[in-house]
Amino acid sequence: DTAVSQTPKYLVTQMGNDKSIKCEQNLGHDTMYWYKQDSKKFLKIMFSYNNKELIINETVPNRFSPKSPDKAHLNLHINSLELGDSAVYFCASTYGGDSPLHFGNGTRLTVT
């Protein structure tokens, strides 16, 4: 019954590899996000999709590519992983407007 679910919860990989993180929400929200939380807990928006369309693309390296096959799913693919990509990645969703964000429990990515 989890509202926003991400997989995997932990991801340990080596530099140069390609990896994907998946996110699904069953709340019927139209807007989904990817946020990155660094080691100092600073949370920064990366991407936002509204009904499968990209609406926000912050200054994120091209190695990061989001994909939204439908409005309930937003996946994040990362190519050529670097040490600096190590962080916790959060998926979130909302109805929009003043509606609050609902977050998944995060994916802790460690690049060695």
Partner 1 sequence: SQQGEEDPQALSIQEGENATMNCSYKTSINNLQWYRQNSGRGLVHLILIRSNEREKHSGRLRVTLDTSKKSSSLLITASRAADTASYFCATDKGTGYSTLTFGKGTMLLVSP
Binding stretches for partner 1 (CB under 8 A): 4, 31, 35, 40-45, 48, 50, 55-56, 90, 92, 94, 96-106
Residue 64 vs 80, nearer CB to partner 1: 64
Min separation Cβ 41 and partner 1, Å: 5
Residue 14 vs 84, nearer CB to partner 1: 84
- Closest by CA to 23, choosing from 42, 9, 38, 40, is 9
Tally of CB atoms within 10 A around 70: 9
Pair type for strands 31-37 and 87-94: antiparallel
Residue 12 vs 55, nearer CB to partner 1: 55
* Nearest-angstrom CA–CA distance, 31 and 14: 32
Min separation Cβ 79 and partner 1, Å: 25
* Nearest-angstrom CA–CA distance, 79 and 16: 7
